[in-house]
Structure 1
Amino acid sequence: MSQRESWATRTGFIFAAVGSAVGLGNIWRFPFQVGQEGGAGFVLIYLLFIASIGFPVMLAEFVIGRRTDRNPVGALKQLGSGKLRYAGWLFFTTGFLILSYYSVVAGWTVRYVLLGLQNEYVGDVAGAEGQFLSVASGLDAVFFHALFMLAIIAIVGLGIQRGIELAVKVMVPAIIVIMVGMAVYVFTLEGAGEAYAYYLSPDFGYIASEWQSILPAAAGQAFFTLSLGMGVMITYASYLGEDRNLAEDGLIIIGFDTAIALLAGLVVFPIFFSAGVSPGAPGAGAVFVTLAAAFGKLSLGGILGAVFFFTVAIAALSSAISILEVVVSYLIDEHGMNRLSATAIISAIIFVVGLPTTYDIQVLNLYDLLVNNILLVFGGFILAVFVGWVIYDFALDELSKGIGDLGPWGTTWLWLLRVPAVIGLAVVVLLGIIEYYDFLVGDFATWFGDNF
């Protein structure tokens, strides 16, 4: 067997992990989830999930990946016993499904860049909704879905150092610089103060009345934006050496990711409020519709929109390469396939699985709610149980490498996994299942009856 690939530098790993975390989850999904779930209250619950559950679960993925030097399927097969040996397939399946529709949404961002350069954003919500529907479905959507998948293949096919690491060292700094510049610009817009109040001042009464909706959405968002529950961090950590401080790296990654998610809100909501557009429109297309309507009303809105959606496209690409790497690494590790062949074959299959989401937005909602509210969180639940209660001796030993004596921090980490993570994620999975059932028998059933 040929020597397994590894990261050339620490910066390369951190940028790759940050690039995976900083994607559509931060700039597309986060604003529409905040708007849909009532503003700052959602942000508060999201941050609590990041700190109390997201960080401990990220470390759990890190220790599994570095301990085994394997993809999620191979890692769980090596460490687990009984049915747990097959848990890696959940991560494989989750990543596979996410990328199938993630690529479609990323294709929309490329299309919106072109609309901005042509100054074709429609300046009212009704017109912007019609424009979005034409972008989100049909042959245009299929074409840009294919174009985005080809870009992912080109990067992942080149390998860890020459492909992924080199690409993220360019993309991640570019995302940060552009987002900071846009945040400074929108601060000058009329209505920015009202937007910041909506975004940063939680309504605790709303949280108390809507917690059943906010909890699964916030947990799913935390896992989606940190690339947890789909095996990305297991896979990326499998290319790490034993001298790395996993806790320090994890804190840096989460810090960057959370800062950019919050920064996205500081960019998006002032644009909404300055253009008089409601931020609370539901659904995966909400940000595209409302932002396009807002950009259409602003001076230089076409240029501003093109820059914004270009940033989203870069972020989407940095995340997509990490998700594809999970699936590709399985074919390389477990079946000895050539990297380029594995990348091309599995990408073609993912492209086909994603085609139904180019038909109608409700099909994309069908995929997204299943993955975001159930599969990602369930994956985190399995990891919390497995690392916290089954392989905790191995886990503490692996975490100590590159750190030394863990002291009380090791025990604290384990108990965060054992109690808050296990109980909290179990509750969230249950709420997610209930919400998904309501969607299936409600909106989706109505749409399906009307169309078929």
Structure 2
Amino acid sequence: MSQRETWATRVGFILAAVGSAVGLGNVWQFPFQTGANGGAAFIVVYLLAVFLIGFPAMLAEFVIGRRAERNPIDAFARLGHRNWRVVGILGTLSAFWILAFYSVVGGWVIRYIIGSVRGAYFSGSEAYFGAVSAGPEAVAFHALFMAITVGIVAFGIAGGIERSTKLMVPSIVLLLGGLAIWATTLDGGGAGYAYYLSPDVDTLVSNIGSILPAAVGQAFFTLSLGMGAMITYASYLGRDDSLPIDGATIVVLNTFVGLLAGLVVFPILFSLGIEPGSGGLGAAFITLAGAFAQLPAGRLLGAVFFIVLLLAALSSAISLLEVVTSYLADNTSYSRPALATALGGAIFALGIPSAFGLSILAWYNAIAYNLLLPLSVLTLLVFVGWVDTGDAVAELRRGTGLSESGAVAWLWFVRTIVPLGVLVTLLLGLQTLAVDAGLLAEAIV
């Protein structure tokens, strides 16, 4: 085995981690989840979930990854807790599973960039989505997206992932910011800002049972938690970096981009009288594509939006592929390009069924949101909070001026409040999953 790679710069790590977090979850899922769960009422629960559950959980992944300097599976054995490797296996399987259907959606994005330039969906956005979202064409663009992802990961940590995210992340922010500024000029957009930024307490209270699992699941998805990504990226870190500062930077930047996406989407929808949350998993493609068709310079605006979506999708996809690639890179003598290609092919094959029907893709997504991610995060929190406590506290303080009492406070939060919130989310998610399974069975029959 060759010598293990590291990040070339600390900024490179932060941008790569932000890129992992700033994915389709921000620009594709976030506006849909917000629209489907009461607008600003969802935002309130989501922000609480990000900072009270997501941030402590991210630090838990960081302390494991940096101290072990290994992939998520081998990290637990390296720390002297071989029996806990199942936690790393669960995270790695989650990354494998998510990328399988995530790549299908990434293929849609490529198709829509082309469609924007040509104005192909202007005559009927719903019919266009139905034509390109399932079938042989969807499989072909799924393969193309996966091939691009493999190509980036094959070049390694510094040469591939770090170099590409240094370009992608600033581009996402700049392009999305430009669209948000343009959205302020739309007639009727003010109602969109009110819906998005003014929470309705009655909506929050009456729908908390459905809002909570959606918000926490969104927090996990958008922060790349429970997938092994943050363990993997932290394993390439230097020993003197401040994990709390890096983690806070990543969480704030990711949340900013997610909120920025909403400032683009909701003014557009309300200016054209389109109901938020309509369109399901295809909302960004049906609803927004239809909106671009009605706006001046719609081809240009559509192309810019879907380019942002593609950059976001790729920045997350490479982190998911790196999770599974890192395990074999740490344990075999095969070259990184060969490993990335083989694993990319396997992930592509797993995702093919989801390219033949939106109901199947929705089931893939529900498995990730409601089962894999909360279960993976919960088991990891139990390990850090109750098994690896002393070493976790020491690792968190390394490279910082954080007092021992501050680190212990984080540990207390990780072993009590955060797992409780995740457990409630998991139970509610399983209930949702049971309903979704019934709906999928009906759709197949």
Q: TM-score, normalised by structure 1?
A: 0.96
Matched residue, 1:184: 181
1:184 Cα offset (Å): 0.3
1:226 Cα offset (Å): 0.4
1:190 is matched by which residue type in structure 2?
D
The whole-number CA distance in structure 2 between the counterparts of 1:83 and 1:131 is: 50
Residue-by-residue CA offset, 1:62-103 (whole Å, 9 max, x unaligned): 000001001111112333647523221101110001100101
1:120 Cα offset (Å): 2.5
What secondary structure does 1:88 align onto? helix
Matched residue, 2:135: 138
For residue 444 of structure 1, the aligned residue among 429, 440, 444 is 440
The whole-number CA distance in structure 1 between the counterparts of 2:309 and 2:125 is: 19
Aligned length: 445
Q: How does 1:168-183 map to 2 (within 5 A)?
A: 168-183=165-180
Q: 2:77·2:83 contact (CA, 8 Å) conserved in 1? A: no
The whole-number CA distance in structure 1 between the counterparts of 2:191 and 2:121 is: 24
Matched residue, 1:277: 274
Q: 1:54·1:223 contact (CA, 8 Å) conserved in 2? A: yes
What secondary structure does 2:281 align onto? coil
The whole-number CA distance in structure 2 between the counterparts of 1:419 and 1:130 is: 49
Q: 1:36·1:282 contact (CA, 8 Å) conserved in 2? A: no
For residue 421 of structure 2, the aligned residue among 420, 424, 431 is 424
Q: 1:277·1:293 contact (CA, 8 Å) conserved in 2? A: no
The whole-number CA distance in structure 2 between the counterparts of 1:177 and 1:35 is: 24
Q: 1:78·1:85 contact (CA, 8 Å) conserved in 2? A: no
Q: 2:378·2:423 contact (CA, 8 Å) conserved in 1? A: yes
Any unmatched runs of 5+ in structure 2?
A: none
2:70 is matched by which residue type in structure 1?
R
Any unmatched runs of 5+ in structure 1?
A: none
1:286 aligns with 2:283: yes
Q: Classify 1:113/1:405 alpha carbon distance in 2 versus 1 (closer, same or farther; 3 Å).
A: closer
Q: 2:397·2:404 contact (CA, 8 Å) conserved in 1? A: no
1:394 Cα offset (Å): 0.7
Matched residue, 2:115: 115
What secondary structure does 1:2 align onto? coil
Q: How does 1:235-274 map to 2 (within 5 A)?
A: 235-274=232-271
Q: Classify 1:282/1:425 alpha carbon distance in 2 versus 1 (closer, same or farther; 3 Å).
A: farther
Q: How does 1:2-21 map to 2 (within 5 A)?
A: 2-21=2-21
Q: TM-score, normalised by structure 2?
A: 0.98
Q: How does 1:79-94 map to 2 (within 5 A)?
A: 79=79, 81=81, 83-94=83-94
The whole-number CA distance in structure 1 between the counterparts of 2:152 and 2:23 is: 16
1:362 is matched by which residue type in structure 2?
S
Residue-by-residue CA offset, 1:21-76 (whole Å, 9 max, x unaligned): 00101000100100111111111100000010100000000000001001111112
Matched residue, 2:41: 41
268-277 or 54-63, larger mean C-alpha shift? 268-277
Q: How does 1:87-102 map to 2 (within 5 A)?
A: 87-102=87-102
Matched residue, 1:377: 374
1:85 is matched by which residue type in structure 2?
R
51-60 or 273-282, larger mean C-alpha shift? 273-282
Task: Please give the root-mean-square deviation of Cα atoms over the aligned residues, in Å.
Answer: 1.2
The whole-number CA distance in structure 2 between the counterparts of 1:418 and 1:333 is: 30
Q: How does 1:145-156 map to 2 (within 5 A)?
A: 145-156=142-153
What secondary structure does 1:8 align onto? coil
The whole-number CA distance in structure 2 between the counterparts of 1:46 and 1:336 is: 43
The whole-number CA distance in structure 2 between the counterparts of 1:93 and 1:402 is: 31
The whole-number CA distance in structure 2 between the counterparts of 1:408 and 1:202 is: 36
The whole-number CA distance in structure 1 between the counterparts of 2:82 and 2:328 is: 23
For residue 313 of structure 1, the aligned residue among 310, 319, 343 is 310
Matched residue, 1:231: 228
82-91 or 296-305, larger mean C-alpha shift? 82-91
1:201 Cα offset (Å): 0.8
The whole-number CA distance in structure 2 between the counterparts of 1:280 and 1:235 is: 34
